[in-house]
A and B are shown apart, each in its own frame.
Chain A
Amino acid sequence: MDVLIYLIPISIFLGGVGLAGFLYTLRTRQYDDPDGDAQRILTGEWDDRPKPD
């Protein structure tokens, strides 16, 4: 059962990564316009390079 020493921190770390990822998407307003984002992916406007800020 020594493997638990690694596995438990790893599982907590992975959970933490998921939580941090979710909080990041929330902070960067990625849930503000779900319909719009679904449509925007269809336009070819910024396909070759990212839109400058």
Chain B
Amino acid sequence: MTHAPISACPACNAAPMAQNLADTDHMAGHILLNVPTVHCAVCISSIEKTLNAFDGVKEARVNLTLRRATIDTTRPMDVQVFIQALDQIGYPAYELDASLLGQSAMEQTARPLLTRLAVSGFAMMNVMLLSIAVWSGAEGITRDMFHWISALIAVPATLYAAYPFFANAWGALRGRVLNMDVPISLAILLALGTSIYETSLSGEHAYFDAAISLTFFLLAGRYLDHRTRSIARSAAQELSALEVTKAVIRKDGQDITVPVSQVQVGDTIILRPGARMPLDGVVIHGQSEIDRSILTGETRPEFVTIGSELRAGEVNLTGPLELRATAVGQDTSLAKISQLVAIAESGRSKYTSIADKAAQLYAPGVHILSALSFVGWYLYSQDLRMSLNIAAAVLIITCPCALGLAVPAVTTAVSGRLFQKGLLIKSATAIERLAQVDTVVFDKTGTLTDGDLTLIDLPPATAEQMQISHALARSSAHPLAQALAAGLAAQGVAEIQLDQIQEHPGYGVSALYRGQQVRMGRAEWVGATPRDHTATWVQIGDDILEFGFADQTRGGAVDLITDLQQAGIDVQILSGDGLAPVSRVAAALGVAAYYANQTPETKAAHIAQLQAQGRHVLMIGDGLNDTAALTSAHVSISPATALDAARVASDIVFLGQRLDSLIGIIALSQTAQRRIRENFQLASLYNVLAVPVAIAGFATPLIAALAMSLSSITVTLNALRMK
């Protein structure tokens, strides 16, 4: 089965994408906004009114299904204006990269499919009307006339509607393989051919209705399949489109914002505190601390100064930095990780879906059966016309109407349920593979924990010292300081007046308290010994206070892990973080098997080793360091907050902050798997009952129509039990 064609290597695609973005900037604007909170008629009209009130807006329209607002403007306009306006009326909005979404793939392929479905549906209705007249006993020229009219409708309609099957079958035959489309195309063509031949000899049996309804049912299955996947795909695309990658560069003393693709090696980049590195670079001015958790899984901020190298994806925490770009596009470390993913991908054993396995057994079987009955009847009766008729009947009756619906009907039902829980299924076979999972490997930072820190260790100190620490912490925007301030405020510690507060980017904060200098910041700076876990230090006179932090586990993490363990699934943690924080989280969650200080390579190797033992591993991770492991695992999940590269590498993406949405998905996928099996059994049962009738030569168009419709309906109803 094919993967969703989201860029396998995001960095490779970034350049042309950003190029498109740059081109569209000059034209009259077409702006796309993601408005996640719109939900009612009043929301729609108030948003549209607000947007339409702007001078220069040609038309603004809200799409509630996609939770998107489209704005057409007569001249280029700044997106921020609209975002602020919507924010004021209470709807947070985010810019979407229009060039990335464009006219979505969904529209381009879904519409022709729907048109074909409609044509075959309407043709089927008319032909069925005529067929019923024939089945109820029309004879002689009346029957011939009805057959001819049916042919007039069915032949062009079938040839048009079944074109995708013909094209696929032709492609498969040219590649010298058999797929499900080969018997389908053969059955349709043979049914049409023998029916025309029979009708021209004013024969009794014509299968025009069978040919067209076969096409209709199969197209319905194909459409369901397509819709399920494109909904998930467009949601995943929207996540990528939310990350409009721009960089601020300094040229001739002026700061300008440009698309990342336009930055060249040697350009000076300005990185504000809180901003993410758009590419690789070396610091040429300024000092700061950076958070590289998304790349390595480490929660401890790292100090950077002139000469330090920063990689794409890292976040600047305290001081503004000036950098020289050292690598752009393909050469960034982000792109290099993608290469690691490509290697892991080529090593991944090719998974064959149940449907493909069924097709491999089924396609030759049907052809042999049909050919045998033709040869047998010809030897027995020497009647070419009758033998051909029987062979066609066998092919039509065995044709996989229900088989074509068996998998899509179930996956549609399951994906719909998972979509409501906030899960996007990107790969067609993800649910099948999920059903086999017996080991779950979690990444820690950003997956089991949400990146927010909490104060866990308080040093022994006087009330006055605590108040000073609180005041110092309050004066800095550094995440550790913020966590400390929040922690102390929760303990009911008051603030105290400090003078001459000064931030030292990369080191910490200093101030004067009653003429005495007090400082808060890194261990080296205040004169303390650095520790393995995340901590900050406050120096007051000769006293040094150490405040320890731990990252908070995501909501629902404990529930999820207990649920997995109760289901008898082995749970492990693989983290790039130090031993102390990893063991703390593992203990809190009740996980016995955990591994700290992992690199991307060792993570992937660990997964490969588990797979070599015959285990089926589900990897859940978010960082760049997880991408190779995500790809080499049997099936993989990443949160929507993950980097684009990690999301691309995984089969399923979950939205929202909590992990509870993942509870029960393995059980659900196993139910889905059971339903698919049942569906195949049901479809086979119909074949077992109807094929002997066809081979014996008793098949009539009425029996074919009944077998086909009944099996399709039972299969669909069985799938709907999932809901």
Binding site for B on A (CB under 8 A): 1, 4, 8, 11-12, 15-16, 18-19, 22-23, 26, 31-36, 39-40, 42-43, 45
Note all chain B residues with C-beta closer than 8 A to A8: 130, 149
- Distance, CA A8 to CA B519, complexed state (A): 93
Tell which of B62, B111, B122, B125 touches A26, judged by Cβ atoms closer than 8 Å.
B111
Question: Does B109 make an interface contact (CB < 8 A)?
Answer: no
Q: A39 and B44: CB pair below 8 A? A: yes
Q: A40 and B111: CB pair below 8 A? A: no
Note all chain B residues with C-beta closer than 8 A to A12: 126, 149, 153
Among residues of A, the one whose C-beta sits closest to the C-beta of B157 is A19
Q: How far is the CB of A12 from chain B (nearest CB, A)?
A: 6
Can you list 5 A-B contacts with CB-CB less than 8 angstroms, sorted by A residue number? A8-B130, A11-B126, A22-B122, A26-B118, A32-B65
- Distance, CA A23 to CA B160, complexed state (A): 15
Note all chain A residues with C-beta closer than 8 A to B114: 26, 31
- Given known pairs A11-B126, A12-B153, A39-B40, the reply for A1 and B142 (CB within 8 Å) is yes
- Given known pairs A23-B115, A40-B44, the reply for A32 and B63 (CB within 8 Å) is yes
Q: A22 and B65: CB pair below 8 A? A: no
Q: A42 and B64: CB pair below 8 A? A: no
Q: B63 and A19: CB pair below 8 A? A: no
Q: B122 and A36: CB pair below 8 A? A: no
For chain A, what secondary structure do more than half of its interface residues adopt (helix, strand, loop), or is it mixed? helix
Report the count of interface residues on B (CB-CB < 8 A): 25
In the complex, the number of residue pairs spanning A and B with C-beta atoms less than 8 Å apart equals: 54
Q: 7 nearest interchain CB pairs?
A: A36-B64, A39-B41, A19-B122, A42-B41, A35-B64, A35-B65, A33-B63
- Distance, CA A26 to CA B66, complexed state (A): 18
Question: Does B667 make an interface contact (CB < 8 A)?
Answer: no
- Distance, CA A40 to CA B125, complexed state (A): 33
Question: Does B129 make an interface contact (CB < 8 A)?
Answer: yes
Q: How far is the CB of B223 from chain A (nearest CB, A)?
A: 12
Q: How far is the CB of B341 from chain A (nearest CB, A)?
A: 35
- Distance, CA A23 to CA B118, complexed state (A): 8
Q: A43 and B41: CB pair below 8 A? A: yes
Question: Does B4 make an interface contact (CB < 8 A)?
Answer: no
Question: Does B248 make an interface contact (CB < 8 A)?
Answer: no
Q: How far is the CB of B12 from chain A (nearest CB, A)?
A: 31
Q: A26 and B115: CB pair below 8 A? A: yes
Among residues of B, the one whose C-beta sits closest to the C-beta of A1 is B142
Q: B119 and A19: CB pair below 8 A? A: yes
Q: How far is the CB of B267 from chain A (nearest CB, A)?
A: 42
Note all chain A residues with C-beta closer than 8 A to B66: 33
With a 10 A CB-CB cut-off, give which of B126, B130, B153 has the most chain A CB atoms.
B126
Q: How far is the CB of A24 from chain B (nearest CB, A)?
A: 11
Q: How far is the CB of A27 from chain B (nearest CB, A)?
A: 9
* Interface membership of chain B positions 10-40, coded 1 if the CB is closer than 8 angstroms to chain A and 0 otherwise: 0000000000000000000000000000001
Among residues of B, the one whose C-beta sits closest to the C-beta of A12 is B126
Q: A40 and B65: CB pair below 8 A? A: no
- Distance, CA A20 to CA B64, complexed state (A): 27
Question: Does B45 make an interface contact (CB < 8 A)?
Answer: yes
- Distance, CA A39 to CA B111, complexed state (A): 24
Q: How far is the CB of A28 from chain B (nearest CB, A)?
A: 12
Q: B122 and A18: CB pair below 8 A? A: yes
- Distance, CA A8 to CA B42, complexed state (A): 49
Other contacts beyond A26-B118, A36-B65: 10, CB < 8 A: A12-B153, A18-B122, A19-B118, A19-B119, A22-B118, A23-B118, A42-B41, A43-B41, A43-B44, A43-B45
Among residues of B, the one whose C-beta sits closest to the C-beta of A36 is B64
- Given known pairs A8-B149, A15-B125, A45-B45, the reply for A39 and B64 (CB within 8 Å) is yes
Note all chain B residues with C-beta closer than 8 A to A31: 114
Q: How far is the CB of A11 from chain B (nearest CB, A)?
A: 6
Among residues of A, the one whose C-beta sits closest to the C-beta of B145 is A4
* Interface membership of chain B positions 355-375, coded 1 if the CB is closer than 8 angstroms to chain A and 0 otherwise: 000000000000000000000
Note all chain B residues with C-beta closer than 8 A to A11: 126, 129
Note all chain B residues with C-beta closer than 8 A to A1: 142
Note all chain B residues with C-beta closer than 8 A to A40: 41, 44
Note all chain B residues with C-beta closer than 8 A to A32: 63, 65
Note all chain A residues with C-beta closer than 8 A to B125: 15
Note all chain B residues with C-beta closer than 8 A to A22: 118, 122
Q: B64 and A15: CB pair below 8 A? A: no
- Distance, CA A36 to CA B65, complexed state (A): 6
Among residues of A, the one whose C-beta sits closest to the C-beta of B38 is A36
Q: How far is the CB of A30 from chain B (nearest CB, A)?
A: 12
Q: How far is the CB of B332 from chain A (nearest CB, A)?
A: 37
Note all chain A residues with C-beta closer than 8 A to B44: 36, 39-40, 43
